[in-house]
Amino acid sequence: MKDMKKATREKIVVRTSLISIVANILLAGFKALVGTAANSIAIISDAINNLSDALSSIITIVGTKLAGRAPDRDHPYGHGRIEYMTAFIVSAVVLYAGLTAMVESVKKIIQPENAEYDTLSLAVMSAAIVVKFLLGLYVKKKGHAVNSSSLVASGQDAFNDALLSISVLGSAIVYLIWQVSLEAYVGVLVAIVIIKSGIELIRESADDILESRASSDLTKAIKHEVMKEPAVQGAFDLVLNNYGPDAYLGSIHIELADTMSVAEVDAISRRISKRVAEKYGVILHTIGVYSVNTKDKTAIKMHERIEELILAHDGVLQMHGFYVDFATKNLSFDIILDFAVPDREALYRQIRKEVRQEYPDFELDITLDVDVSD
């Protein structure tokens, strides 16, 4: 079922990209002819942008095909991250197109040349605007349908191109009416928008490659699903590793009563793994367990007191996994500190010092955890 869904997604991405390639090549050809005939650097820059869009779609197809290869010994989690690498290449292509357009536009400002427009030029530009808007709508819709960030970005880029083409058309109309040439300056504007888009795409693809923080909506939904299990008293430390679009492997810690048997814990873990996989497509390969004191009133009071001490500090996001072993005089728990805390280690040492002063007879096992998910 999963393989069928993956194959369908790949087919949609490839087909949509091919449509985008054909449309962009045709638009680039028409704009190049019109721009050359009209001596318009703004139109020619717009044509270059269409070519970069076509090249981006080609790279998207190649990346999608490579990413769809089955896992092997050297890549047991598959090849899905190749899509992020190709997205980075696409971003570089977009940025290069913007820089090229900027150079040509600046040359025209330094050595201006008069543009020559006719009815055909205006008609071609107007048609290109309509095509770009429709293409953007189609590609973006398909991208959302198959959760392809590359297609969504391409669709948004098409909308941006349409807006830029409107600017070029506006400069042509201004020239025809008032004989004021804004060509080179509009070319600079087009280049700036392309460069900005390229930088943003590079930043986004770099985040995917570096594996940035998982979506807050997804992590909260998974934790909520885990908490539906009646015996689970808390869900923490959810880590999601992304191996391509819709390909997550993860781990989580849950709090369970210290009276439960291994068999009961195993059954709960299996139920949680199955539900999360079926509902969100996330494989929880590890479910760790925090034991919770449920019978000893002294332990419960200690928990409340220590939580009061810790949460009094600014920058403490959470305390969890609290457990007291009176037989070994061991007290353990985890704390999560905000990344905004200037010196997280110093705050950790301060918290440890305060807890030790409060409970000097206990060995402390305090883990400084990482704020990996919401």
Check residue 69 and give its pLDDT: 82
Do the Cβ atoms of 20 and 135 come closer than 8 Å?
yes
**pLDDT tens across 89-142, in order?**
877 877 887 788 788 778 878 887 666 666 777 777 788 888 888 988 898 888
Write out the H or E segment, with its range, that includes residue 235: strand 234-242
Which one, of 121, 123, 99, lies nearest residue 187 by Cα?
Answer: 99
Predicted local distance difference test score (pLDDT) of residue 55? 78
Question: At 331, is the pLDDT very low, low, confident or very high (cuts 50, 70, 90)?
Answer: very high
303 closest CA partner among 327, 280, 320 = 320
State what percent of residues in the chain have pLDDT above 90.
34
The answer on pLDDT for 265 being more than 70 is: yes
Q: For the segment 217-229, what is each residue's pLDDT rounded down to a tens digit?
A: 999 999 999 999 9
Are 152 and 60 within 8 A, CB to CB?
no
Q: How confident is the model at residue 115, as a pLDDT? A: 63
Q: Which of 17-26, 42-51, 304-313 has the lowest mean pLDDT?
A: 42-51
**CA pair distance 256, 234, nearest whole angstrom:** 8
* Best CA proximity match to 144, nearest among 154, 133, 129: 154
Rounded Cα distance, 4 and 7, in Å = 5
The reported pLDDT for the residue numbered 368 is 92
- Determine the Cα–Cα distance for residues 331 and 317; give it in Å rounded to an integer: 20
Q: What is the pLDDT of residue 42?
A: 61
| pLDDT per position as a tens digit, 290-324 | 999 988 889 989 999 999 999 999 999 999 999 99
What local confidence, expressed as pLDDT, does residue 114 receive? 65
Hey, CA dihedral for 31, 37, 38, 40, is it positive or negative? Answer: positive
Average pLDDT over residues 62-88: 81
Q: Highest mean pLDDT: which of 103-112, 210-219, 323-332?
A: 323-332
Regarding the domain delimited by 2-210, which CATH topology (the fold level of the hierarchy) does it fall under? Alpha-lytic protease prodomain-like (1.20.1510)
Q: CATH 1.20.1510.10 occupies which residues in the chain?
A: 2-210
Query: 56 pLDDT band (50/70/90 cuts)?
Result: confident
Which range, 58-62, 76-80, 171-175, 312-316, has the best average confidence (pLDDT)?
312-316
In the CATH hierarchy, which top-level class contains the domain 216-369? Answer: alpha beta
Quote the mean pLDDT of the chain. Answer: 84
Cα-based distances in Å from 71 to 54, 120, 161, 274: 30, 53, 38, 22
Token duo for residue 140: 């973006």
Domain with CATH 3.30.70.1350 in the chain: 216-369
Q: Token pair of 249, please? A: 């492997």
Mean pLDDT of 22-44: 78
pTM: 0.71
Confidence (pLDDT) at 1: 47
Residue, of 200 and 265, whose pLDDT is higher = 265
What pLDDT sits at residue 145?
84
